[in-house]
A and B are shown apart, each in its own frame.
Chain A
Amino acid sequence: MNIDALSASAVDGLMIGFIYGLAAMGLTLIFGVMRVINLAHGPVIAVGMFAVLLLGQNLGLNPYIALPIVLLLGLASGIAMYFIAVHRVINAPELTTLLATFSVNLMIVGIGTVLFTTSPRALSVDLGSVQAGAVTVLGTKAVAVLIAIVATAGLYYFLYRTRAGKSIRAVANNRSAAELMGIDSTWVLALSFGIGIALAMGSGSLLATMFSFTILSGTVYEVKSFIIVVLGGLGNPFGALLGGIVIGLLEGIATISPLPVGWVPVIEFGVFVLILLVRPTGLFGAR
């Protein structure tokens, strides 16, 4: 294994890891606040991809200008989704919320297949590339990493420095106690769900600038998000970013290792089950 190939694929994996982390952050935030595993996560990522495509096609918007609009759309549709599908069953056993979010998954995929068919789409974004030795960094990837970092910092600031963010953490910690302190938990839950969906859609938009996609593409990222979320600790958004980087690096390095690429998912899912068993709070989670 030569060092050039190693550094090239490590950098590539590292960068994609940030986007994986951003996608997983939405999933883990929702779980952390309301103990709901959002099975519509994948289709929501795909909706983010198509949102940026449609905004570009119809309004001629550059993907990076469309991104804030996609985030706002995500926030609004997340809040709507919470009230339609989740609010009524928020205190029911896991199975109920799993199936409720899965029904949203089916509906999104159903409508998406009719509207967009399943033929692959792509955005044409070219930001050039920077070469440093053997490492080539595509502009789109670099910008996506930058946006992922800004989004994470923004989320951190929101959760720890603003009143609404503090309410979200309070509700995550103990919903009844938070209610006794005068927090309107319904709105806090809806807001968290909205932010989770916005993050997922945002990461979808960024992925769309790098890879071609169909309405079914979200599934791959949904399954990756599960692994990442468990690595970083269920309910821990910043652990998710680290988990994403770990998985991205692993995948990057695996492409040049002597191990056939097909075995990478075996290892990923093996680690996933093992961590659930041995350390369900995740590698970076608090005990």
Chain B
Amino acid sequence: MSALRAPFFWVLLVVVGGVGLLPILTGSDGTREDVFLVLMLVILASSINIIMGYTGYVSFGHIVFFGLGGYVAFYLMLNHQVHFVAAALVGGIVSSLIAFLLGIPVLRLRGAYFALATIGINEVVRSFVTNFDPFGGATGMFFNYQVYDSYGGAKNALWFAYDAILIVALLCTITSLLIKKSKFGLGLLAIREDQDASQVLGIDPSRSKVVVYTISAFFPGLAGAIFFFKNGIIEPGPAFDLLRSIEALVMVMLGGYGTVAGPIVGAAVYEQLRAFLITNPTFSSLHLFVAGFLLLLIVLFVTNGLVGWLRQRTPQLRRYLE
């Protein structure tokens, strides 16, 4: 666990934990909602980064695990009165299990074929859930407010969901750091650079890829469970929204592909920017255009993202910005 002695571990803990404590200290509902959203995006972006940034496999439809975790947990809470924490854990584990089973065949595909297959999987699951009556079909499922009573009423349940998302965000980013700093992570980076060469050097790419895919599906599963618990309603459209998946990819690129800090920075900056564009009277109607234009500029000129660019510019920062 040498990663826990790295200076960046403390930077991570202080920054994410510090921002996360802000709403708890001020007790403000508005701040809590803002930070909740950013933390959830941090989880989505970081988990995509674990498979995409480290291993080079572009999981375009990663949102499928968010939706699956959400649906499984929601179903358990609604129909079997399972406690939220247990239901969320089951949601995460089911997401991981499905990633494991899917990963074995799908991760054999490379490049664009893999990216397309993940889009396909998301669409299969979405159209399946839309027709699956136990999950409420196209109209989805919703809580009546009594569900929140066992958590001390709706107001307390919101705070409870917030605590949960903060813990998951911390776990997710720390896992990301642990993987990056481990021998296993080094193997992943080798697969990203040249899969065939890594195999010659004694790495088992198929095993490593499946393991990392399984890990990367766990956190979105938890995040989905928490998000839809807080929402009180789950529908196939928002649960398996491909656009959200692509937005998370954009955050990873914006912050810096393959770095631990990148997805965190990317998620925070992207969300701030989106909020600014939507509320700004001049840009509100053009916000999609502006977002697209910025993305193009990043893709064409700042390929390493903000964190990658900083690391390149200032070598002294590298210890504090993994």
Contact = CB atoms under 8 A, between A and B. Distances in A.
Interface of A: 31, 35, 37, 84-85, 88-89, 92-96, 98-100, 102-107, 109-111, 113-114, 223, 226-227, 230, 234, 260, 262-263, 265-266, 269-270, 272-273, 276-277, 280
Interface stretch (B2-10, B68-76, B127-135, B227-235): B127-135
B145 interface: no
Given A99-B250, A270-B124, A272-B120, A110 B292 contact: yes
A107 B291 CA distance: 8
A92 B253 CA distance: 14
B92 interface: no
Contact of A280 (B109, B246, B250): B109
A94 B111 contact: yes
Nearest to B58: A95
A94 B291 contact: no
A37 B292 contact: no
Interface of B: 52, 56, 58, 60, 105-106, 108-109, 111-113, 115-117, 119-121, 123-124, 127-128, 130-131, 138, 246, 249-250, 253, 257, 285-293, 295-296, 299-300, 303
Contacts of A223: 123
A273 B56 CA distance: 20
Contact of A98 (B60, B123, B257, B286): B60
22 contacts: A85-B296, A85-B300, A88-B300, A89-B300, A92-B303, A99-B249, A99-B250, A99-B295, A102-B292, A102-B295, A103-B293, A106-B288, A106-B292, A109-B288, A110-B292, A114-B285, A226-B120, A262-B127, A263-B131, A266-B127, A273-B106, A273-B121
Given A37-B116, A226-B116, A104 B138 contact: no
B292 A99 contact: no
A223 B243 CA distance: 13
Nearest to A87: B300
A102 B292 CA distance: 8
B127 A273 contact: no
Contact of A95 (B52, B109, B120, B288): B52
B55 to A, nearest CB: 12
A88 B123 CA distance: 31
A89 to B, nearest CB: 6
A257 to B, nearest CB: 15
B124 A273 contact: yes
B299 A106 contact: no
Contacts of A266: 124, 127-128, 131
A93 B52 CA distance: 12
A89 B297 CA distance: 12
A35 B146 CA distance: 53
Contacts of A226: 116, 119-120
A88 B56 CA distance: 20
A75 to B, nearest CB: 22
B295 to A, nearest CB: 4
A265 B300 contact: no
Contacts of A269: 120-121, 123-124, 127
B44 to A, nearest CB: 16
A96 B285 contact: no
B291 A277 contact: no
A113 B288 contact: yes
Given A96-B303, A109-B288, A102 B123 contact: no
B112 A94 contact: yes
Contacts of B299: 89, 96, 99-100, 103
Residue with the greatest number of chain B CB neighbours at <10 A, chosen from A85, A114, A263, A273: A273
Contact of B109 (A104, A272, A277): A277
Contacts of A103: 292-293, 295-296, 299
Given A99-B299, A111-B289, A230 B116 contact: yes
Given A94-B115, A95-B58, A276 B291 contact: no
Contacts of A92: 303
B117 A273 contact: yes
Contacts of B253: 95, 99
A132 B203 CA distance: 65
Given A223-B123, A263-B131, A269-B120, A100 B296 contact: yes
Given A35-B111, A260-B131, A280-B109, 4 more contacts: A85-B296, A266-B124, A273-B121, A276-B113
Given A31-B112, A262-B138, A107 B124 contact: no
B289 A106 contact: yes
Contact of B58 (A98, A106, A262): A98
A113 B290 CA distance: 13
B189 to A, nearest CB: 14
B292 A104 contact: yes
A65 to B, nearest CB: 31
Rank and list the top 3 A-B pairs by shortest CB-CB distance, nearest first.
A106-B292, A110-B289, A110-B288
